Structure formats: structure tokens, C-alpha cells
Amino acid sequence: MTDEITLNCPMPFNDYERVVLAHGGGGRIMHRLINDCFVAAFDNPFLAAQGDGATLNLSGPVAMSTDAFTVSPLFFPGGDIGSLAVHGTANDLAMCAARARYLSVSFILEEGLLLADLHRLVDSMADAAKAAGILIVAGDTKVVEKGRGDGVYITTSGIGTLLDEAVDAPPSPARMRPGNSVIVSGPVGDHGAAIMALREGLLTEETQLASDAGPVIDPVSALYRQGIDVSCLRDPTRGGLATVLCELACASHLGIYLKESLIPVREPVRDTCEFLGLDPMYVACEGRFVAVVAASDQARALQVLHQHGCPLAAAIGEVQQADAGTVVLENAIGSLRVVDRLSGEQLPRIC
């Protein structure tokens, strides 16, 4: 008489409600997760080839960027970590005057994450990429033990092709000149204010707060198509508008003069920031950009932006020879103060 042999087989993929360590173990469960979740959502010939990478067909100058996303909570008004990862990477490329074409994506999953939430994030990411004409062509998945992550972290790398009109003069702080106009594409602080309000339990229908996360390549492209002399582009993410302008002043070895009254801030954002003791100029945006353009093109640049999805774009200051490396702000009563970088982290886990 032989002993009965039993096999301790793992549950089928569809029987799992949450991520388990086996989803990152390299076996059948992991491959089912990859195929049923990621490949199904991001479906394209590059992924269907199931290689270790992707062979891409590109011509002309290209731009490349890499980013990581740890925003908490994972879902927020106006978006989630999945769509944010696509928009954030594509916008970094747009600031190089490049249209994003391809992304690679890495997911760090925490044991215990609801698979329904993962599918929701991946579907959101796929929708954002499809709307922007971006293919997600390679990726990786890892799982960490419960308590050693925070649901999902996402890292990305993106490749884009330079806009034809920008090939000979891509945007750079080195191209900034005294007298250039500083333009912001819309109200600042929306993303950071929405995240902080959600964390602090302040988010209600009355607050009317939502992230501005979204793509910016179309208005950027419109500026170039219309022949606007664009010296430099930057997106005011972590550290907000103030930090970006400080970086540009230092990199260009020029001064930047701002008028506080010209900087657009939505009233709900201003109220939320005041309640939390924050300055909107340091609060992150995820769907805005700063354009430094020739003074002679300021009016036309604003007109182009107003016609291409940025109705509240505003000229907020100018580049100057004086005060090299410094940003100076004139407030509502005419007093001047130096705008400095933050000495510490004002808003952790904001993107």
C-alpha cells in the first residue's frame, strides 16, 4: 500500500483578492498577473513579443526622462498614481520640447494590495497613455513584504521625439535673456492642495479642489508651431512655482522679477493653503508649465495658450540682468522680497 501523495498547489490567479509575495516570485502566479493585468491593459506589439526589452524605431533627435511616483493616497480628486505616472513623465519630456512616444514602467507592489485597486490603477494608466499616443513597451514587477511599501510605487522612463520646430534650438536656461517674459500656463498649487486636503480630511464638495494632473504637450507644441521664441520650459512639480524659478535663475545666472498680483491661484487653493499654513507658490502642480519667451512674443504667446487649453495662462514677470541667481517678488503693497528655495520638505509624498 503506497502513501497518498497530495500536491500543495497555489490558488488560481483569479482566486486571489490581494497581492501576495508569489506575485513577484517569477512563477506561474507572477506570469498570470503580468499577462492578465499589465499586458492586457497595455496591449501592443512590443509587449506581445515578450522580450526583455523593446527595439524601437526612432529618427531624429530624441529626449529621455526618468521619474518615480510615491504619491499618497493612491487615488485622489482628478487622478491617481497610475495616470499621474504617465502625465508626469510625458510632461518632463514636453519641457524638453519633445512629444512622448514610449514608456517603460516598473511597479513595486506591497503584499496585501487589493488586486482590484491594482487593476483600476493599471487601467487608468493605460487610458492616459492611449489618450496621449504613448506606448508602454517594457516593464518590471516586484513585490515587497507587507509593511515595507505603501501599496504601489511606480517608476518610469520615457523617450520622446523633439518637435520639428525645436530641433535647432531646444529650450534651455542657457537661452534665457534679460527682458524675457515669464509665463505660467494656469493657476498654481491645484495638485498639492487637493492631496493635502484629502490627507487632512478637508476635502468636501464645497472645497472644489482637484489635481490639475494632465498632459501639457499640446499647448507647448502650439507655441512652437506659431513661431513663438521659447527660451526655456519647466513644469512646477515638487517645490512648486517658486522652486522652479529659483532653479532657472541659478542655472541662467540671471535674475527673475515677479509680481505676486499676477500669479493665478484659485480661491479654493488659496483658502486651503492659508488654513494649512502653506504658500501656494511652493505647492506642486502636475498639469502646468512655465514658459520663458521673448518679450516681443508675450502677447501672442498668451493668445496661443488661451486658445489651446490654457485659458488662465498669465505673464507673471520678467528676466533681468540685476540680482543674478535670485528671484525677487513684488507683493500687493509694492514691497520686495527674495523668493528662496525651501530648506526642508514642505509636502512629502505629493507625487
pLDDT value of residue 14: 58
pLDDT value of residue 2: 45
Within a 10 A sphere around the Cβ of 311, how many other Cβ atoms? 10
Length of the chain: 351
User: Quick one: how far is CA 25 from the chain centroid?
Assistant: 30
Alpha-carbon span 176 to 249, nearest angstrom:
9
Q: 125 and 136 in contact (C-beta within 8 Å)?
A: yes
Residue pLDDT, tens place only, 89-136: 999 999 999 999 999 999 999 999 999 999 999 999 999 999 999 999
CA distances to 22, 195, 273, 274 from 277, in Å: 44, 15, 6, 5
pLDDT value of residue 4: 47
- C-alpha cell recorded at residue 55: 527595439
What pTM does this model have? 0.93
Which residues, other chains included, contact 326 with Cβ-Cβ below 8 Å and sequence gap of 6+? Answer: 249, 255, 256, 338
pLDDT < 50 regions, the chain: 1-8, 13
Three state DSSP letters for the chain? CCCCCCCCCCCCHHHCCECCHHHHCCCHHHHHHHHHHHHHHCCCHHHHCCCCCCCCCCCCCEEEEEEEECCCCCEECCEEHHHHHHHHHHHHHHCCCEEEEEEEEEEEEECCCEHHHHHHHHHHHHHHHHHHCCEEEEEEEEEECCCCCCCEEEEEEEEEEECHHHCCCCCCHHHCCCCCEEEECCCCCHHHHHHHHHHCCCCCCCCCCCCCCCCCHHHHHHHHHCCCCEEEEECCCCCHHHHHHHHHHHHHCCEEEEEHHHCCCCHHHHHHHHHHCCCHHHCCCCCCCEEEECHHHHHHHHHHHHHCCCCCCEEEEEEECCCCCCEEEECCCCCEEEECCCCCCCCCCCC
CA distances to 9, 40, 273 from 287, in Å: 47, 28, 19
Domains with residue ranges and CATH for the chain: 13-162 (3.30.1330.10), 173-339 (3.90.650.10)
- C-alpha cell recorded at residue 70: 510615491
pLDDT value of residue 206: 76
